[in-house]
Structure 1
Amino acid sequence: VPPGEFIPVAERFGIASRLDRWIIRTALSRHGAALRSGALTLGFNLSAQTLSDPQLWDFVDNVIEETGAPHSGIGFEITETAAVTNFDAAEQFVRKARERRCRVSLDDFGAGMSSFEYLRRFPVDTIKIDGSFIEHITQSRFDREIVLAITSIARSLGCDVVGEKIEQQDTLAMLSDMGVAFGQGFLLHRPEPLERIV
């Protein structure tokens, strides 16, 4: 079942935070050794409910202590949709993540109305450009200019840039020419069990 189908259901029934906690515990328990060796880093997308959970960091710290997984091998991805639900809670979450040397990414950047406010208030490591600007980049001058602008801003802030929804070779080539060093999409890799990758 694609995440786009089951995550909205989990949010609607108020169990998204429990789901996020289960994912974090399961992933760190199974792959703590690979994280400790530096062979793997894990990134977690967080729901709005989880970002607003005041006990989240107590939970994460306890799981890290149990599994021995290093904070530096863990990253969290925050979408504007999740952050806008409770901006102050999201800001506090990012601050605590940075204190622990966890990486933080702004996911789907540019898709909402307040993206640049997040750059002002959230000290993130990575900006992930929303796929809506990527998928037609070879045909749309507007999309190219947006991607160039976001890439320039990200570089000036010392952030990595990821292009999302890369599905065509010419899209990948154009992003590379534009200085987008990282990518995500079916052209590069389709979802599959982690055991097949590591």
Structure 2
Amino acid sequence: MENFEVSQRAKLPTRFGNFLIQSFRELRKENNCECPLDHLVIFTDSLSEVPLVRVHSECLTGDVFGSQKCDCGGELALAMQKISQNAQEGQGGMLIYLRQEGRGIGLFNKVNAYALQDEGYDTVEANEALGFKSDNRDYSIVGDILNYYKIKKIRLLTNNPGKIQAMSQYVEVIRDSIIVPSNCYNQKYLNTKKSKLGHLL
């Protein structure tokens, strides 16, 4: 039995352009309890043999509320713009939106990590002080999603070498950078991503 369910396909007109949307329900079991996660896939009507792909982990504070503590909201918007432009050039692309808030620690713990950052901890130190790894994400569902769409090779929008390595388990990866402007609130965060997590910034 597969560890996911797939929704129907629907149209999604956005300010970036017209897309299709589909949801993948990941059927997880944790502590003898079923904990489904509903991920989203937003994609263009046609996909080339090597589509432009962004694997974006949910960041409610950045994506929805415009938090300037991170670069997530900016990266999401830029990825949508790039995928839409790629579609206009006849290539197409896909955004996989993973419901793994706070690099996999959840929204409640992310807010607690924010509080520690207010006291001077960096993003890695805050996660570790709460008993988590610096990055708690699991990308196995991405392999299922790419296989579902019969994708074998991607141009991956990322600055994260760990994500490149993770995706390379499932498909051939060519990296495309995704750089958004920094600000006075996220400069330390970005420096930490570069120095401690190896991000290509």
Higher RCO, Cα 8 Å, sep 6+: 2
Question: What's the TM-score bracket when you normalise by the shorter of the two chains?
Answer: under 0.3
What TM-score does the superposition give when structure 1 sets the normalisation length?
0.26
Higher helix share: 1
Higher strand share: 2
